[in-house]
Amino acid sequence: MQNMQPEVLEVGDAGVAHVSRVPLLDLRAQYSTIKEEIRAAVDRVLESQRFILGTEVASFEQAIASLCGARHAVGVSSGTDALLVALTALGVGPGDEVITTPYSFFATVGAIVRLGARPVFVDIDPDTYNIDAHAVKDRVSQRTKAIIPVHLFGQCAEMDPLLEVALQQRIHIIEDAAQAIGATDDRSRSVGSIGDLGCFSFFPSKNLGAFGDAGMVVTSNDTLAEKLRLLRVHGAKPKYHHLILGGNFRLDALQAAILNVKVKHLSAWARARRQNADTYRRLFQAAGLQAWVKAPADSAGHVYNQFVIRAERRNGLQSYLRGRGVETEVYYPSPLHVQPCFHGLGFRAGDFVHSERAAQESLALPVYPELTSEQQLHVVQSITDFYRRKAT
């Protein structure tokens, strides 16, 4: 884990060790700390020769249900399939509408459209990047079947206005918590368990990442949980007797065994990410970067899957940082309403101005738990050099 010394390290310190590269994410560093645990877990599965569902998956489901405060957790094959299965369990299909955000990963809307339903977009809150919860009620229609808020970058969306609308209109809420495992809202409620269904991704780059694709749906609704379990195994119960039309959405035992090891470290990793986020803010302040860089909105339950700043001359900054060995990422350069495959939905550039502006200004900096103080200083010093150089 990192060796943070924020009280003595400042931008421009001459005594800071030379840093030549700062990756956006360093999974090798994480693996080195848990290698023996991981290998023992994998060996356990290999010795059992039981690779599909089974005890490893059941154990991981129990761990996630407990973490989220939900009665049920159903392991599935990916975060994308978690959304697809959740929508299917609610009976979403042709003629239905699902309200969501245009500023998210493709899977959020792809799952809606694959089922023949229509996404109805609501713009984001520019401070949090999450859906503007107070604008949702004006987009509800008689065809609205569900709302999908996205807890983007690790911060819980504002849920109470959505819960109020859902209750009044008798519609469901599916939380897209793919980037927010372990996050909470300002009332200490865990993401995934606030709505009817919560969907998680364990893609390798997530805060809790597998060694391949894996996902989970959580719920406290017994009927929905049973339907989710049917859907992931081709709708069969018992074997070869298909009650509903499902698919192959199973979580495999190898991924579950790996995640059973990693979930024990999740809270410590989240604390380290928060510490790194706090350090960035302090260093930005010390460097006087406020005129050019805006740090992301903070909250007590933010788990910082990404640390996404707003940056003046974003593309130039990203190029400069690349030259200084600092890896960054743009999440997301093109909002969903202007993606070519959705042109038939009738949306145009200019329809959701906050999402489009975020796409032009946002930049994710390295924030992973193993990030060192020296690496963070190099990142902030490089940002400072870019803007000071341009200003002179």
pLDDT tens, position by position, 114-126:
999 999 999 999 9
Query: What are the structure tokens assigned to 203, written together?
Result: 């893609």
Tell me which residue of 90, 60, 86, 88 sits closest to 75, measured CA to CA.
60
Q: Could you tell me whether strands 293-294 and 144-148 are parallel, antiparallel, or unpaired per DSSP bridges? A: unpaired
DSSP per position, 297-329: P--TT---S-EEEEETTHHHHHHHHHHTTB--B
Distance in angstroms (rounded) separating the CA atoms of residues 214 and 9: 39
Tell me which residue of 339, 385, 361, 381 sits closest to 121, measured CA to CA.
339
pLDDT at 114: 97
Answer yes or no: is pLDDT of 383 > 60: yes
Q: List C-alpha distances in Å: 116 to 199, 243, 301.
A: 20, 22, 35
The per-residue pLDDT for range 45-82, each reduced to its tens digit, is 999 999 999 999 999 999 999 999 999 999 999 999 99
Query: What are the structure tokens assigned to 189, written together?
Result: 């409620």
The per-residue pLDDT for range 313-371, each reduced to its tens digit, is 999 999 999 999 999 999 999 999 999 999 999 999 999 999 999 999 999 999 999 99
Domain ranges of the chain: 27-32+265-391, 35-264
Distance in angstroms (rounded) separating the CA atoms of residues 53 and 57: 5
Whether the Cβ atoms of residue 95 and residue 234 lie closer than 8 Å to each other: no
- Output the pTM of the full model: 0.94
SS3 263: helix
Tell me which residue of 297, 259, 252, 250 sits closest to 277, measured CA to CA.
297
Answer yes or no: is pLDDT of 7 > 70: no
Nearest-Å Rg of the Cα atoms of the chain is 22
Please state, for a pLDDT cut of 90, what percent of the chain lies above it: 94
Domain covering 35-264, topology:
Aspartate Aminotransferase; domain 2 (3.40.640)
Answer yes or no: is pLDDT of 295 > 50: yes
Assigned CATH class of 27-32+265-391: alpha beta
